[in-house]
Amino acid sequence: MVPGMIADRKPPPRRTQLDRREESDRRMLRAATKLFARQGVSGTSLAEVGLAAGYSRGLPVDRYGSKFGLIEALLDSMAAWFETRVADSVSGRRGVDAVLERIAAHVDGARKSPLATAALYAIYLESLAAMPALRPKVGALLERWRGELVVGLRQAQTSGEIRGDIDCEQHAAIILGALRGLVIEHLMADAETDLDAIRDAVAGLVRQAMVPPAARKVARR
Amino acid sequence: MVPGMIADRKPPPRRTQLDRREESDRRMLRAATKLFARQGVSGTSLAEVGLAAGYSRGLPVDRYGSKFGLIEALLDSMAAWFETRVADSVSGRRGVDAVLERIAAHVDGARKSPLATAALYAIYLESLAAMPALRPKVGALLERWRGELVVGLRQAQTSGEIRGDIDCEQHAAIILGALRGLVIEHLMADAETDLDAIRDAVAGLVRQAMVPPAARKVARR
Amino acid sequence: MVPGMIADRKPPPRRTQLDRREESDRRMLRAATKLFARQGVSGTSLAEVGLAAGYSRGLPVDRYGSKFGLIEALLDSMAAWFETRVADSVSGRRGVDAVLERIAAHVDGARKSPLATAALYAIYLESLAAMPALRPKVGALLERWRGELVVGLRQAQTSGEIRGDIDCEQHAAIILGALRGLVIEHLMADAETDLDAIRDAVAGLVRQAMVPPAARKVARR
Amino acid sequence: MVPGMIADRKPPPRRTQLDRREESDRRMLRAATKLFARQGVSGTSLAEVGLAAGYSRGLPVDRYGSKFGLIEALLDSMAAWFETRVADSVSGRRGVDAVLERIAAHVDGARKSPLATAALYAIYLESLAAMPALRPKVGALLERWRGELVVGLRQAQTSGEIRGDIDCEQHAAIILGALRGLVIEHLMADAETDLDAIRDAVAGLVRQAMVPPAARKVARR
DNA sequence: CATGAATGAGTATTCATTCAT
DNA sequence: TATGAATGAATACTCATTCAT
């Protein structure tokens, strides 16, 4: 029972409660992501999530209180992850440039984290009809994205990159709506639509609002 | 109590079995349309449909065999309705003209029959995750629409209206995917996106593939 | 429109209502027999019977009033058929001879009309637990069979063929009970038990009650 | 309010989860036994079982997964119980002695645990037509019983107790088939057949295969 | 922190039966 | 005679949730 020995032999397998909680959290959210992406939200039971994460049937409820709570937690974690991801790539850009970069970031998210993206859209779809209670939270997220696009479009309008008669609010909604439709199709219906083609098409929606370079000088004056 | 009157007043309360069936059919499909549009497919029980149609809980199953059968019947009736609708407006047009007209017809469908359109999209959404069994049927419908767009695009390509390097198959998929995303958004999330703006944006996706008029003559010659 | 011609051309396809009724009766009972034998009574729906007979879902109820009524009708027809069948083969025999012949007749019924026999036993099994309402009718049939066996055994007892201390009532019950168990097993569980072996074994139950030939003379005296 | 008293009066109301599970298991299986015996398997709903056991409608499904699962659990517990029961009484016996003892054990089971026996036979009957999925499990149990009888008959044949021309496999099937028919009749149709008479009759089926004592010496030599 | 026992509401589906044609 | 439309009750099964350990 020499103190030193104990320290040596069990380095510290003493994981704090916090560690355990964090790990189980991570594993449950990961499991939920995978299951939501594949089976949709309604099609996934809490018990399934717990078991897929390697825990018991009851843990998800114990941790998140309800199915709704789990979805919220997942939504939060995905939003945070996405936020930093986009912030990086867009930093420093302005106007049309920033808008195009944001679009590219969305498409890239779908490319690099198809599961997470599919899960996010599954939650979005669920919020449309089956679980209206999700609307506020999902809506806020989408609204934030739209708001950021609007900022870019307004800058572009001010600088004369895009036409003055464009309704930036609405144009941003259109860009994101089309993007959503195309990405959902790509991820969930085993569609062959190419992600690059999707990005280009949506970028086209931006260009379509742009002032032709030739005319631009006039606009600026 | 003139004999003649009696004959006049009770024309024939004798509804044939076919009449009864057709009426209950119509009423149940209408009820299902409304409920699917509002609550989604999973969120709507067969009992609800029967009762909303003014019949018993059990009638929908008795008539359509299963929830799946009801959805199929609804899908069929909607497809037929839409088909004739579009056929009318597009007849005689070719190339870009036909494509734009088809897009307008889709948007118009959403404007004039928002419930039916929302129900159709609700079924589409359901097929993505919760009820994969719907895929073949839903897929076939969407595929038909896409095929018809492809025809128009090919005509346009041949006549030099749109660029030769466009992949018509994929471009049709993009047009419809974006359209779907925008219409869903419009109908289901109480979005303020204007239907005209949606139509114009999607039309823009077509124009973006077009050869500029100036260059066109060269291409033709 | 010469009368003669009409008579010639349609000999009389004029089947009376009675004919039609009898034919549909026959076909429905045949269908019910087949289905009961294969799927049991509870496992067979009235609609199934009507359709299997080549008619509508509703005919069985229309004809027999209820599922119970159909079973009764079937039971009656089977009882009648069996009765004449056994009467023929047993006529003229008495005592042990008659008893053995009856046993053979039962086994033979199972051999020659396995479907009808299986259906009969399916109804018997149903009467045990799921449909107690069938008991009186089924019980009466079995009781009649037992009674006839008792007669034979009594004759045998009187003539000294079987021992005086045998309780004929009970012995008849045992013979039929064992027979039933074995035939059910043979028909319904795909058992390999040979029908001849079954007949011999049950015959053995009779012989076991017999006075050994050597001792018989004494008994007679 | 003496501290000691409190300790005494609340011994440990602390029932472990295992305790709870075992008790509810026991109570549900007991309830199922009673209900199956009285109303048959199809005639008994899972909700009924749960409520009869003093729990909720949903517990049986939660515990056993499905009606099939409940039946399997019941079958297992009954098989185990019966196995030990028979093992005791038969231990040490061989040949005809062992066979007769097994028969007696079956009859005794029906006498002492009529409910359990009736439930077992109800499941057997159900497996014949209504729930063919039960066949493998039920078949295996019956097959085990038959196999054990065969062993005894073979020993008897080797030692010259029974005739060499007897097909032991089939004879065992006949013994059990007859026994089943008679016990079912006794338990389920409120038949007056005496259990002792049943045992004697079935024992007679064994004796009928025996070599007469007089002849036996010859056979042995 | 984690497990799992127990509940109860909801839902598709089957089916005998009634009723209109 | 026969069909089939419509009803309503019953039932297995799913699942979020609550509660005890």
Assign B7 a pLDDT band (cuts: 50, 70, 90): very low
Which residues does chain D have within 8 Å of residue C42's beta carbon, measured at their own beta carbons? 42, 130
| Contact check, Cβ <8 Å, A178/B201 | yes
Query: Straight-line distance from CA B25 to C1' F5, in Å?
Result: 11
Domains identified in chain D and CATH numbers: 77-220 (1.10.357.10)
Q: What is the 3-state secondary structure (H, E, C) of B148-215?
A: HHHHHHHHHHHCCCECCCCCHHHHHHHHHHHHHHHHHHHHHCCCCCCHHHHHHHHHHHHHCCECCHHH
- The phi-psi region of residue D145 (left if phi > 0; otherwise alpha if psi is between -120 and 50; otherwise beta) is alpha
Closest by Cα among A210, A189, A178 to B174: A178
Q: Are A53 and A59 in contact (CB under 8 A)?
A: yes
For residue B132, give the 3-state DSSP assignment.
Answer: helix
- Residues A178, A179, A184: CA angle, nearest 5 degrees: 100
The predicted structure's pLDDT at residue A24: 95
Residue A162: strand pairing partners: A210
| Contact check, Cβ <8 Å, D170/C193 | yes
Sign of CA dihedral A117, A120, A124, A130: positive
Instruction: Please report the residues numbered 79 through 108 in chain B whose beta carbons come closer than 8 angstroms to any beta carbon of chain A.
Output: none
Q: Does residue C155 surpass a pLDDT of 70?
A: yes
Which residues does chain D have within 8 Å of residue C40's beta carbon, measured at their own beta carbons? 128-130
Chain D residue at shortest CA distance from C203: D205
Assign C10 a pLDDT band (cuts: 50, 70, 90): very low
Residue B177 CA from chain centroid, whole number: 14
Q: Does residue B218 surpass a pLDDT of 80?
A: no
Does the C-beta of B50 come within 7 A of strand F?
A: yes
Query: Strand F: which nucleotides have any atom within 7 A of a protein Cβ?
Result: 1-21
- Name which of B9-18, B22-31, D185-194 the model is least confident about: B9-18
| Contact check, Cβ <8 Å, B191/A174 | no
Assess A129–B contact: CB distance below 8 Å, yes or no.
Answer: yes
Percent above pLDDT 90 for chain D: 79
Which residues does chain D have within 8 Å of residue C197's beta carbon, measured at their own beta carbons? 167, 170, 174
Q: Which amino acid is at B207?
A: R
The predicted structure's pLDDT at residue A124: 95
Q: How far is D214 from chain C (nearest CA, A)?
A: 15
Out of A130, A173, A191, the one facing B173 most closely (by C-beta) is: A191
Any chains having at least 3 CB pairs less than 8 A from chain D are: C
| Contact check, Cβ <8 Å, D129/C139 | no
Out of A130, A193, A208, the one facing B204 most closely (by C-beta) is: A208
Distance CA C178, CA C175 (A): 5
Q: Which positions ≥6 away from C110 have C-beta within 8 Å?
A: C117, C183, C186, C187, C195
Does the C-beta of D67 come within 7 A of strand F?
A: yes
Out of A41, A122, A208, the one facing B208 most closely (by C-beta) is: A208
Q: Are B173 and A185 in contact (CB under 8 A)?
A: yes
Mutate to test the interface with C, among D117, D185, D186, D194 (most CBs of C within 10 A): D185
Looking at residue A41, the DSSP 8-state letter turns out to be: S
The predicted structure's pLDDT at residue C120: 96
Assess C119–D contact: CB distance below 8 Å, yes or no.
Answer: no
Assess C170–D contact: CB distance below 8 Å, yes or no.
Answer: yes
Distance CA A190, CA A192 (A): 7
Mutate to test the interface with C, among D150, D165, D174, D205 (most CBs of C within 10 A): D174
Distance CA D182, CA A53 (A): 54
The predicted structure's pLDDT at residue A87: 85
Q: Does residue B11 surpass a pLDDT of 90?
A: no
Does the C-beta of D139 come within 7 A of strand F?
A: no
For residue A193, give the 3-state DSSP assignment.
Answer: coil
Assign C220 a pLDDT band (cuts: 50, 70, 90): very low
Contacts 24+ apart (CB under 8 A), A190-194: A191/B173, A191/B177, A192/B170, A192/B173, A193/B170, A193/B173, A193/B174, A193/B177, A194/B170
Out of B174, B184, B192, the one facing A198 most closely (by C-beta) is: B174
Say which nucleotide is closest to residue B28, CA to C1' distance.
F6
Query: Straight-line distance from CA D16 to C1' F15, in Å?
Result: 25
Q: Where do runs of H (alpha helix) occur along C53-167?
A: 59-64, 67-90, 95-112, 114-128, 135-158
Q: What is the 3-state secondary structure (H, E, C) of chain D?
A: CCHHHHHHHCCCCCCCHHHHHHHHHHHHHHHHHHHHHHHCCCCCCHHHHHHHCCCCCCHHHHHHCCHHHHHHHHHHHHHHHHHHHHHHHHCCCCHHHHHHHHHHHHHHHHHHCHHHHHHHHHHHHHHHCCCHHHHHHHHHHHHHHHHHHHHHHHHHHHCCCECCCCCHHHHHHHHHHHHHHHHHHHHHCCCCCCHHHHHHHHHHHHHCCECCHHHHHHHHC
Give the max Cα distance, chain D: 86
Query: Strand E: which nucleotides have any atom within 7 A of a protein Cβ?
Result: 1-21
Distance CA B190, CA A128 (A): 9
Closest by Cα among B129, B150, B145 to B180: B145
Q: Are A25 and A34 in contact (CB under 8 A)?
A: no
- Name which of A9-18, B154-163, C196-205 the model is least confident about: A9-18
Which residues does chain A have within 8 Å of residue B179's beta carbon, measured at their own beta carbons? 181
Q: Per the structure block, which two tokens stand in for C53?
A: 């007979």
How far lies C152's CA from each of A75, C109, C170, C212, C215, in Å? Answer: 85, 20, 13, 18, 21
Q: Which positions ≥6 away from C154 have C-beta within 8 Å?
A: C168
The predicted structure's pLDDT at residue A147: 96
Q: Are D180 and D121 in contact (CB under 8 A)?
A: yes
Query: Straight-line distance from CA D54 to C1' E8, in Å?
Result: 15
* Residue B89: exposure state from Cβ atoms within 10 A (0-12, 13-18, ≥19): middle
Distance CA C195, CA C187 (A): 10
Q: Are B99 and B159 in contact (CB under 8 A)?
A: no
Mutate to test the interface with D, among C41, C120, C121, C128 (most CBs of D within 10 A): C128
Distance CA B146, CA B168 (A): 10
Q: Per the structure block, which two tokens stand in for D17?
A: 């989860």
The predicted structure's pLDDT at residue B221: 39
Out of C129, C139, C197, the one facing D174 most closely (by C-beta) is: C197
Q: Per the structure block, which two tokens stand in for A148?
A: 């950021």
Write out residues in chain A with pLDDT < 50, as ranges. 1-10, 218-221
Distance CA C206, CA D92 (A): 32
Query: Straight-line distance from CA C47 to C1' E15, in Å?
Result: 9
Percent above pLDDT 70 for chain C: 90
Closest by Cα among B33, B203, B56 to B122: B33
Which residues does chain B have within 8 Å of residue A186's beta carbon, measured at their own beta carbons? 177
Q: Which residue has the higher pLDDT, B221 or B62?
A: B62
User: Residue written as tokens 């008959």?
Assistant: D153
Write the pLDDT tens digit of every residue in C24-68: 999 999 999 999 999 999 999 999 999 999 999 999 999 999 999
Q: Per the structure block, which two tokens stand in for D57?
A: 């409608």
Interface contacts (C, D; CB < 8 Å): 121
Closest by Cα among C10, C29, C9 to C21: C29
Assess A193–B contact: CB distance below 8 Å, yes or no.
Answer: yes
Write the pLDDT tens digit of every residue in B85-99: 888 888 899 999 999
| Contact check, Cβ <8 Å, B130/A43 | yes
Looking at residue C12, the DSSP 8-state letter turns out to be: -
Distance CA C120, CA C85 (A): 15
Mutate to test the interface with A, among B185, B198, B202 (most CBs of A within 10 A): B185
Q: How far is D6 from chain C (nearest CA, A)?
A: 51
| Contact check, Cβ <8 Å, C174/D182 | yes
Instruction: Provide the b/e sequence for A72-96 (b: ≥16 CB within 10 Å).
Output: bbbbebbbeebeebbeeebeeeebb
| Contact check, Cβ <8 Å, B129/A188 | yes
Any chains having at least 3 CB pairs less than 8 A from chain A are: B
| Contact check, Cβ <8 Å, A185/B191 | no
| Contact check, Cβ <8 Å, C170/D38 | no
Instruction: Provide the b/e sequence for C117-127 (b: ≥16 CB within 10 Å).
Output: bbbbbbbbbbb
Write out residues in chain D with pLDDT < 50, as ranges. 1-12, 218-221
User: Residue written as tokens 């790539």?
Assistant: A89
Out of D43, D186, D208, the one facing C204 most closely (by C-beta) is: D208
The predicted structure's pLDDT at residue C216: 61
Contacts 24+ apart (CB under 8 A), D91-95: D94/D152, D94/D155, D94/D159, D95/D152, D95/D155, D95/D156, D95/D159, D95/D161
Q: Does residue C4 surpass a pLDDT of 50?
A: no
- Would you mind telling me the total number of residues written for chain B in this entry? 221
Mutate to test the interface with C, among D135, D182, D195 (most CBs of C within 10 A): D182
Chain D residue at shortest CA distance from C40: D129
Q: Where do runs of H (alpha helix) occur along chain A?
A: 3-9, 17-39, 46-52, 59-64, 67-90, 95-112, 114-128, 135-158, 168-188, 195-207, 213-220
User: Residue written as tokens 């850009």?
Assistant: A93
The residues of D between 5 and 34 with beta carbon within 7 Å of nucleic strand F are 13-17, 20
In the Cβ-directed half-sphere of B39, how many Cα atoms lie within 13 Å?
11
Instruction: Provide the b/e sequence for B69-88 (b: ≥16 CB within 10 Å).
Output: ebbbbbbebbbeebeebbee
Instruction: Provide the b/e sequence for B184-207 (b: ≥16 CB within 10 Å).
Output: bbbbbbebebebebbbebbbbbbe
Q: Are C200 and D166 in contact (CB under 8 A)?
A: no
Q: Do A and B share at least 3 CB pairs under 8 Å?
A: yes
Does the C-beta of C17 come within 7 A of strand F?
A: yes
Distance CA D18, CA C217 (A): 71
The predicted structure's pLDDT at residue A10: 47
Assess D39–C contact: CB distance below 8 Å, yes or no.
Answer: yes
